[in-house]
């Protein structure tokens, strides 16, 4: 499909729809340099990374994409899996040379996963170790004891039936943008609202496609988490690949917030990752504290380069 370019403050954005598994995926590439893939949480879109992408583009090739049923990508045809999402990122990377000629095929990428996409970023590192330069988890989902729910086919059918019923009532067109705005506002600190342009919000969130995609991902959330737990047992993180865990904290000292920090700290310990608290920040750290996300990417990329430059002992 045809690519288009639009001007940004840092570079030209290369946008294209590529087919993966028969589904058109909306992909946006900015900047030049080492590759950094940004993957957002459930129900979010490529433009939610705008503040981070603007800061990274001067020194990184920044790749953003919408998963099926999100943003401008086509409808989800199958339920998500941890392995499937990892392979999706690999397929996006494979398509980069056709989108922007400044990318060298085969170069490893830093993968940044927010919320549920933290599962996907970690799975990518475990299943595609040679293609992973570093991993950054941004207030990632954590499920320490997840088990695969029973009857996945019935759950899929129920999610699709609910989406069809809501679509028949006109709910996506009437309430989709309002639900998006409310969710973003509640997920940020202070008076931070939703900075996304009205036209983009309406274009994406008035559709039944986004509603179906969000319901399908939410329905299979625990199954993906359980799959990742099993993956940890058989596919270790690659040696020498640095990782960072960023945890959002509103600074209010509530019990649930402090418990969340403990769980994020434990995740960092399990992965051997650097741990940092973003304060103040809500769950949408890419909007509240894009500077910290960018700093983490820059530092972990630098750490990876230093490791690769260290002399290796003679055999």
Domain map (residue ranges) of the chain: 4-304
For residue 1, pLDDT beyond 60:
no
For residues 244 and 136, is the Cβ–Cβ distance under 8 A? Answer: yes
For residues 63 and 96, is the Cβ–Cβ distance under 8 A? Answer: yes
Q: What is the pLDDT, as a whole number, of residue 4?
A: 42
For residue 307, pLDDT beyond 80:
no
Phi, psi (rounded to 5 degrees) for 35: -85, 135
Q: Label residue 241 left, alpha or beta by phi (over 0 means left) and psi (-120 to 50 means alpha).
A: beta
Angle formed by the axes of helices 171-186 and 208-219, nearest 10°: 60
**Tens-place pLDDT, residues 235-294:** 999 888 999 999 999 999 899 999 999 999 999 999 999 999 999 999 999 999 999 999
Write the CATH number of the domain with boundaries 4-304. Answer: 3.40.50.1820
Phi, psi (rounded to 5 degrees) for 144: -70, -25
Q: State the Cα–Cα distance between residues 62 and 110, nearest whole angstrom.
A: 10
Give every CB contact of residue 44 below 8 A, 6+ residues apart in sequence: 70, 114, 115
Q: How far is CA 130 from the centre of its chain?
A: 20
Q: Where are the alpha helices (DSSP H) in the chain?
A: 50-56, 82-99, 117-127, 152-168, 171-186, 198-205, 208-219, 221-234, 255-271, 285-288, 290-309
**Tens-place pLDDT, residues 71-91:** 999 999 899 999 999 999 999
For residues 18 and 94, is the Cβ–Cβ distance under 8 A? Answer: no
| For range 101-117, the mean pLDDT | 85
For residue 19, pLDDT beyond 80:
yes
Nearest of 69, 81, 62, 15 to residue 45 by alpha carbon: 69
pTM of the model: 0.92
**Tens-place pLDDT, residues 32-69:** 999 999 999 999 999 999 999 999 999 999 999 999 99
Question: How many CB atoms are closer than 10 A to CB 120?
Answer: 28
pLDDT band at 103 (very low <50, low <70, confident <90, very high): low
For residue 2, pLDDT beyond 50:
no
**Tens-place pLDDT, residues 141-161:** 999 999 999 999 999 999 999
For residue 102, pLDDT beyond 90:
no
| For range 122-130, the mean pLDDT | 97
């Amino acid at each position: 499909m045809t690519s288009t370019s639009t001007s940004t403050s840092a570079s030209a954005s290369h946008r294209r729809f590529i087919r993966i598994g028969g589904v058109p995926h909306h992909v946006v590439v900015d900047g030049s340099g080492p590759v950094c893939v940004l993957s957002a949480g459930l129900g979010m879109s490529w433009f939610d990374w705008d503040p981070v992408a603007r800061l990274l583009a001067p020194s990184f090739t920044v790749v953003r994409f919408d998963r099926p049923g999100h943003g401008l990508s086509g409808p989800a045809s199958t339920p998500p899996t941890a392995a499937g999402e990892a392979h999706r990122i690999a397929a996006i990377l494979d398509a980069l040379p056709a989108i922007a000629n400044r990318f060298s095929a085969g170069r490893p990428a830093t993968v940044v996963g927010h919320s549920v996409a933290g599962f996907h970023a970690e799975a990518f590192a475990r299943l595609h170790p040679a293609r992973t330069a570093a991993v950054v988890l941004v207030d990632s989902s954590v499920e320490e004891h997840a088990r695969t729910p029973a009857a996945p086919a019935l759950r899929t059918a129920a999610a699709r039936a609910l989406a069809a019923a809501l679509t028949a009532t006109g709910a996506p067109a009437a309430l989709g943008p309002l639900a998006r705005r409310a969710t973003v506002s509640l997920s940020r600190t202070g008076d931070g609202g939703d900075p996304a342009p009205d036209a983009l919000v309406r274009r994406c969130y008035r559709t039944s496609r986004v509603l179906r995609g969000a319901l399908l991902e939410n329905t299979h959330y625990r199954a993906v988490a359980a799959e990742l737990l099993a993956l940890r047992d058989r596919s270790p993180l690659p040696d020498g690949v640095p990782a960072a865990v960023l945890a959002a904290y509103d600074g209010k000292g509530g019990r649930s917030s402090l418990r969340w920090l403990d769980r994020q700290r434990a995740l960092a310990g399990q992965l051997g990752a650097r741990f940092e608290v973003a304060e103040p920040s809500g769950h949408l750290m890419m909007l509240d504290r894009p500077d910290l996300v960018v700093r983490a990417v820059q530092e972990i990329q630098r750490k990876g380069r230093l490791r690769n430059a260290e002399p290796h002992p003679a055999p």
